[in-house]
């Protein structure tokens, strides 16, 4: 099945809103064996939307519209799509009840009369009920293609994609599609390509596709067969070969982020963690505390952005700061040991570096970062050269900190001088 995603909303064309719906849909659809060929964005204009529909009709089997399903005058997607495919709309009283319930329990105010238009849906469509908003989604077939309409609000679009659209498409296909997500840290996408290029180039079913993210690489291994067991049997040999080639750089399969992996490992080992952060400004603490259950392992952190806090709170000796400067191996080591001492944690990670835009007062280049990990058997420090870009440096520093912890907890060597 080939697909075109059509996002409706003038705000997308003005740059006021990022089209995160298309990103999530593309990711989920590819995992379901649907080939997304085109992304289109069009403003709230009936004539231009109609033109887009005619173009998309000629080049894709599945058209998915996002946005324009609200109750206001500029929410015209449903009207234009139904007119283009010759579909009448039918009023659904049960949808009104769902919308009314949402207003009663979430907004806690009366439902405006204009919301009634959201209860009109294409005749004969499959309804995707929306418990997280007021706009239901729907799907129908016309002129040999499948048409889907989803709300544009990211939270609602994501929910209906995951809980309604993808299951519906899988049931419709009559086949089972199974995927595994392989997460890699420490290799760039070209390096992964170098290690796995022959597999990726020749893979059909199962397929192996890379997705680069900031600081890491994701691989999606996907198979299509009659049953889930058949899919797993198809993927097993390729999965073993990929694991063998990637080795220590493959940090998880269907496990989520680096911090999620660290959280899981800490719980399994019954260990606790604390953090002392300078250049990341609390990013490490934020990322792990974003996860449910973090309170079982993460005791706390100190954002020691100034030397005064490094010395006064973490107990970093003033002599070290004077002699080596804040961005140095001795200070990173002392920061980690200080966090471990004041929180009583089993492990403590520290980061100190130059995020930019300028060198520090000791002449350290932008991107120079030291990451330290204090544990029962001593403290290890890793020096990094992360290039330029303040946001990227901070994100990469946090990545390396979590990877350092992961390596310690899985008895892997901690890489130095990279």
Interval 392-411: pLDDT, tens: 999 999 999 999 999 999 99
Class of domain 176-253: alpha beta
Report field, pTM of the whole predicted structure over 0.85? no
How far apart, in whole angstroms, are the C-alpha atoms of residue 368 and residue 400? 13
Q: 206 preceded by cis ω (within 30°)? A: yes
The percent of residues in the chain predicted with pLDDT above 70, rounded, is 99
Q: Among 94-98, 213-217, 238-242, where is mean pLDDT lowest?
A: 213-217
CB contact at 8 A, 373 and 380: yes
Q: Which CATH number fits domain 258-409: 3.30.300.30, 3.90.950.20, 1.20.140.10, 3.30.70.100?
A: 3.90.950.20
Query: What are the structural domain ranges in the chain?
Result: 2-173, 176-253, 258-409
Contact in structure between 49 and 77 (CB atoms under 8 Å): yes
Q: What span, in angstroms and rounded, lies between the C-alpha atoms of 21 and 85? A: 24
3-class secondary structure, 250:
strand
pLDDT tens, residue by residue, 188-200: 999 999 999 999 9
Q: Six-digit token pair at 186?
A: 């420490």
CB environment 14-49: b (16+ within 10 A), e (fewer):
eeebebebbebbbebbbbbbbebeeebbbebeeeeb
Poorest-pLDDT segment among 13-17, 49-53, 126-130? 13-17
* Residue 416 confidence (pLDDT) above 60: no
**Residue 417: is its pLDDT beyond 60?**
no
At 120-135, the pLDDT tens digits run: 999 999 999 999 999 9
Tokens of 14: 């003005």
Q: How high is the pLDDT of residue 415?
A: 64
**Sign of the CA dihedral with 336 first, then 337, 340, and 343 last:** negative
What is the strand order of the sheet 216-225 is part of?
207-213, 216-225, 176-185, 250-253
Q: What is the pLDDT of residue 171?
A: 85
Instruction: Report the CATH number of the 2-173 domain.
Output: 3.40.980.10
């Amino acid at each position: 099945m080939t697909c075109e995603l059509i996002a409706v909303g003038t705000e997308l064309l003005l740059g006021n809103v990022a089209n995160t719906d298309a990103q999530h849909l593309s990711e989920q659809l590819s995992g379901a064996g649907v080939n997304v060929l085109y992304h289109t964005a069009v403003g709230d204009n009936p004539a231009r939307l109609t033109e887009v529909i005619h173009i998309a009709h000629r080049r894709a089997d599945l058209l998915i519209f996002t946005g324009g399903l609200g109750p206001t005058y500029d929410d015209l997607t449903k009207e234009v799509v139904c007119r283009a495919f010759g579909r009448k709309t039918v009023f659904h009283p049960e949808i009104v009840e769902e919308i009314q319930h949402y207003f009663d329990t979430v907004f806690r105010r009366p439902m405006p009369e204009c919301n009634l238009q959201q209860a009109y849906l294409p005749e004969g469509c499959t309804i995707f009920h929306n418990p997280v908003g007021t706009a239901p989604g729907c799907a129908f077939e016309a002129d040999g293609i499948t048409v889907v309409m989803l709300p544009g609000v990211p939270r609602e679009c994501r929910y209906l994609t995951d809980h309604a659209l993808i299951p519906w498409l899988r049931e419709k296909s009559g086949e089972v599609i199974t995927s595994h997500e392989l997460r890699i840290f420490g290799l760039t996408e070209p390096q992964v390509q170098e290690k796995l290029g022959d597999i990726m180039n020749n893979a059909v079913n199962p397929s192996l596709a890379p997705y680069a993210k900031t600081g890491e690489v994701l691989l999606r291994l996907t198979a299509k067969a009659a049953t889930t067991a058949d899919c797993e049997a198809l993927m097993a040999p390729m999965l073993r070969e990929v694991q063998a080639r990637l080795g220590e750089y493959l940090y998880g399969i269907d496990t989520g982020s680096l911090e999620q992996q660290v959280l899981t490992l800490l719980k399994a080992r019954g260990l606790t963690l604390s953090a002392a952060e300078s250049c990341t400004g609390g990013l490490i603490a934020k990322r792990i505390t974003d996860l449910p259950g973090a309170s079982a392992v993460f005791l706390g952190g100190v954002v020691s952005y100034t030397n005064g806090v490094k010395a006064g709170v973490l107990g970093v000796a003033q002599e070290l700061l004077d002699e080596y400067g804040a961005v140095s191996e001795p200070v990173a080591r002392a920061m980690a040991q200080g966090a471990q001492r004041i929180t009583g944690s089993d492990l403590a990670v520290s980061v100190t570096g130059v995020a930019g835009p300028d060198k520090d007062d000791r002449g350290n280049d932008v991107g120079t970062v030291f990451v330290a990990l204090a544990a029962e058997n001593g403290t290890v420090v890793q020096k990094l050269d992360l290039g330029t870009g303040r946001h990227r440096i901070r994100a990469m520093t946090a990545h390396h900190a979590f990877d350092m912890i992961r390596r310690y907890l899985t008895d892997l060597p901690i890489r130095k001088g990279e």
